[in-house]
A = this chain, B = another copy of it.
Amino acid sequence: MLDERKLAVLRAVVEDFVNTNEPVGSRALADRHPLGVSPATIRNDMVALEEDGYIAQPHTSAGRVPTDKGYRLFVDRLSSVKPLSAAERRAIESFLGGAVDLDEIVARTVRLLAQLTRQVAIVQYPSLTRSSVQHVELVPLGGQRIMMVVITNTGRVEQRVIDGLGSASESVVDDLRAMLNRAIAGKHLGDVPDAVEDLPAQVAPEDRPVAVAVLSVLLESLVERREEKIVLAGTANLAAVDFAASLRDVLEALEENMVLIRLLGEAKDPSMLTVRIGAENFHEGLRSTSIVSADYGVGNQSLAKIGVVGPTRMDYPGTMGAVRAVARYVGQILAGQ
């Protein structure tokens, strides 16, 4: 049904359309690609490709444009991830190298990815749920308040103020802190609830309310609150593109963090590049965009995702190469920290 040459034609259509942003005709194809056949033959192939839904005509007597299905086939079978140039790799290394803390690593990563791809980049903070507790700190503030700071092994810091405690003497706080750290330091966040379950029983009855309050805030902030932070960059790159949907819809979708998190999260194959094309994205406003995402992490452990959002008409090999490379470097940097 689809012989070698028809696939070559589809590949050529995608490549040319990505370059020029104009429907590509049979003559132009024959000129620019060494297909070895005449425009008339290409036309016949195009009819077949169109019947199968891989390309479409904006109107009679215009050239052809790839459909979502066409891009999908291109990504799956007709292209390979394009490795970065040596210069680009060096740029990544030097740019990410100077970061001093997690915030800065993330901030630099997202800007770097936006710059490399000339599209919108998304970076998710290392997930809380997959990391483990490095240390818990309790700091008595003035009044009857305590600040709790939890540090994870990925360098993330969560803080929360606990209010409305009656008595909270220094020594009680000290005891609690020591007890907490004994119980959960090094533990996976998922295991924290079990680990602290019987702690209240171990404190003196009069201090139990304080302990309970602290624990409930701890659990709430670490486990129940699934909110995962993400950062964007490169939205200005959208202005250059003209979308089928309005630019406004796209920008709106990008501001809804929950949508983005869900999109990134729906990667098919963990630890691999995932590409979602056009209507494959469930969100209305992103119908005319594609998303290339990847996991990053330390060793085999995936911590979170990074990704790029651009028009369906994007340079898939290049974008995929950039995303994969940046994901790897971030993993290395995090491992080194």
Contact = CB atoms under 8 A, between A and B. Distances in A.
Interface of A: 100-101, 134-135, 137, 139, 141, 147, 149, 151, 155, 157, 159-161, 233-236, 238-240, 246-248, 251-252, 254-255, 337
B139 A137 contact: yes
A159 B105 CA distance: 14
Nearest to A111: B255
Closest A-B pairs by Cβ, 5 of them: A239-B248, A236-B251, A236-B252, A239-B247, A135-B139
B255 A233 contact: yes
A232 to B, nearest CB: 9
Contacts of A135: 139, 141, 147
Nearest to A337: B161
A252 to B, nearest CB: 4
A160 B233 CA distance: 24
Given A137-B149, A157-B159, 20 more contacts: A101-B160, A101-B161, A134-B147, A137-B137, A139-B151, A149-B149, A149-B151, A151-B159, A233-B255, A235-B235, A235-B251, A235-B255, A236-B248, A236-B251, A236-B252, A236-B254, A238-B251, A239-B248, A239-B251, A240-B248
Contacts of A235: 235, 251, 255
A161 B156 CA distance: 11
B160 A100 contact: yes
Given A135-B147, A248-B236, A251-B239, A157 B157 contact: yes
A280 B247 CA distance: 28
Nearest to A163: B337
Contacts of A134: 139, 141, 147
Nearest to A142: B134
A133 to B, nearest CB: 12
A234 B161 CA distance: 29
Given A239-B248, A240-B248, A248-B236, A155 B161 contact: yes
Nearest to A252: B236
9 contacts: A101-B161, A135-B141, A157-B157, A234-B255, A235-B235, A235-B255, A236-B248, A236-B255, A239-B248
